[in-house]
Amino acid sequence: MRFRPATATGEFVSIDSGQPVVVGVGPVTPAEVVRVARGGAGVRLSGEALDAIAASRARIEALAAEPRPVYGVSTGFGALAVRHIPEHSRTQLQRSLVRSHAAGSGPEVEREVVRAMMLLRLSTLATGHTGVRPILAETYAALLSAGITPVVHEYGSLGCSGDLAPLAHVALAVMGEGTVRDAAGTLLPAAAALGAAGIVPVELAEKEGLALINGTDGMLGMLILACHDLRALLRLADVTAAMSVEGLLGTDRVFAADLQALRPQPGQAVAAANMRRLLTDSAIVASHATPDCTVVQDAYSLRCAPQVAGGARDTLAHAERVAGHELAAAIDNPVVTGDGRVESNGNFHGAPLAYVLDFLAIVTADVAGMSERRTDRFLDPARNHGLPPFLADDPGVDSGHMIAQYTQAALVAELKRLAVPASVDSLPSSAMQEDHVSLGWSAARKLRRVLDALTRVLAIEALTAARALDLRAPLTPAPATAAVVTTLRTCIPGPGPDRHLAPDIEAAVDLATSGALVVAAESVIGPLG
């Protein structure tokens, strides 16, 4: 599957001609989220889900007819919850809620994020715990299947009371208001796009506006996409680390299974096993694995690569568990319980997601920092074991990869800034009713930038290590790493005099992003862990 850290806002969404994703009363899977968000898969509701939705709606309608005020049904919202709303004003109440909360600002959020968010909100509606009408859930499914994506903006969510502003922009489109992009990426008024697709806008009834905006779906969607992407990037990190160990005349003995078993961290074992397989049958490694080799120990950035990439894997596994729990959740406030009660709660608070989103940014920054240190070693004749300074063709006349490392260093510096947690901050809102917020949306947005930066850092390491491996000729690299070099050479020339370096870097980034570099290695040794 193609790894993409971000999707262009107006990118065409091809409608997946395969079977649609069926949304039932149980959770959708991470793979289904990726398929709908990135692959343009259609969506339909199961009969069981439609029955559950109808049953909870009957309970809401019964409560709406009672004189007793019920939050979100016959009251205002947030700090205005003390006001009872008469029956004749309740449709206006829901419409006003969505319009007022669709207050986002800044650049458009990527289409894949919005589609993930829509699917996850639909999944919660399908549980039968939100009290909406079936037609509302069916309209969400219709928009997804038609490739219609509401315009959502970068700023507006505090990650508490749900991703209010982002989800409100989606709800606005379901009402036939606001702006959307169609499947071709064309910007249109929502009413025009819905009309062209044969979708009738929904007039919201009691509680429905609140049910559409009170969820953690934005930050959860970005967490699921990030977990998918980071798992692919960690395989690439093992590939580039192995290339660097080889090119810097390091040893593979430190990756031995019995040594790794002395510290039974599961992610570390996976990373070390990957590196052993990647370096199998390397003539370069064999050339200095002799009694007369004077190097006693490799630098930490080589020797400890499995420990860092492994720790990142273990953190990722924790994040995936948290995401799995959230996928099984029904986030709304108030919520319709299994026995028919309508109860206020705090399940919309994004803290569990915000914490792991921040944690992933921290470990990603560290993986990138180790990669940059390996690249820097290649360029220093005091540490690169016989390679020319900066891997230059004619050092002094040529600068080689000197400034490629500057680019890496700038990316790593940015990553360190982005690793500062968002979840430790809190800005109270709604007249102090919402006096603690998670800022999980902010954590998710910066994590997307972090993953893009890691992709670029690893691409530069691969580019530099490939040049070094070429310069080790006539010694030959391992078959797996040689396949990676060959893939790079399909669009990037080998060593020679200086040339415009930016296109080479971008070509390497494209190969890293597409997964081609990992696929090349796996074509020789099979799937990496």
pLDDT tens by residue, the chain, 529 residues: 344 444 445 555 556 667 999 999 999 999 999 999 999 999 999 999 999 999 999 988 888 777 777 776 777 666 566 677 777 777 888 899 899 999 999 999 999 999 999 999 999 999 999 999 999 999 999 999 999 999 999 988 787 877 989 999 999 999 999 999 999 999 999 999 999 999 999 999 988 998 999 899 999 999 999 999 999 999 999 999 999 999 999 999 999 999 999 999 999 999 999 999 999 999 999 988 777 776 768 999 999 999 999 999 999 999 999 999 999 998 888 888 888 888 888 778 888 999 999 999 999 999 999 999 999 999 999 999 999 999 999 999 999 999 999 999 999 999 999 999 988 887 776 666 676 677 888 999 999 999 999 999 999 999 999 999 999 999 999 999 999 999 999 999 999 999 999 999 999 999 999 999 999 999 999 999 9
220 burial (CB, 10 Å; 0-12 / 13-18 / 19+) is buried
Q: Which of 407, 523, 387 lies closest to 456 in space, CA to CA?
A: 407
Look up residue 506 and give its two tokens.
């971008």
DSSP state, 84? B
- Global pTM reads 0.94
Look up residue 286 and give its two tokens.
């064999």
| φ, ψ for residue 335, nearest 5 deg | -120, 145
Cα 276 to Cα 267: distance, rounded to the nearest angstrom: 14
Inter-residue contact 394 to 330 (CB < 8 Å): no
**What residue has token string 């540490």?**
383
First and final C-alpha spacing in the chain: 15
**Neighbour count for residue 489 (Cβ, 10 Å):** 12
DSSP run (H or E) holding 237:
helix 217-247
Cα 350 to Cα 342: distance, rounded to the nearest angstrom: 21
What's the CATH architecture for 229-331+355-525? Answer: Up-down Bundle (1.20)
pLDDT at 433: 65
- Interior CA angle at 421 toward 417 and 422, to 5°? 110
| φ, ψ for residue 42, nearest 5 deg | -75, 170
CA torsion angle 489 494 497 498 (round to 10): 50
pLDDT at 69: 75
pLDDT at 7: 44
Active site residues: 71
**Contacts for 196 with CB less than 8 Å, ≥ 6 apart:** 182, 188
- List, in sequence order, every residue forming a beta bridge with 32; answer none if it has no partner: none
pLDDT at 2: 42
Q: Which of 204, 189, 299, 315 lies closest to 251 in space, CA to CA?
A: 299
pLDDT at 424: 85
Query: Strand pairing of 335-336 and 342-343?
Result: antiparallel
Query: Strand pairing of 21-23 and 43-45?
Result: parallel
pLDDT at 91: 81
User: Does 21-215 match 229-331+355-525 in CATH topology?
Assistant: no
pLDDT at 68: 76
Residues in the chain, how many?
529
Residue 461 CA, distance from chain mean position: 22
Crossing angle between the packed helical segments 134-146 and 47-64, to the nearest 10 degrees: 130
- Write down the domain spans for the chain: 21-215, 229-331+355-525
CATH number of 21-215: 1.10.275.10
Q: Which of 219, 229, 225 lies closest to 423 in space, CA to CA?
A: 219
| φ, ψ for residue 460, nearest 5 deg | -70, -40
Buried b / exposed e over 430-453, threshold 16 CB at 10 Å, is beeebeebbbbbbbbbbbbebbbb
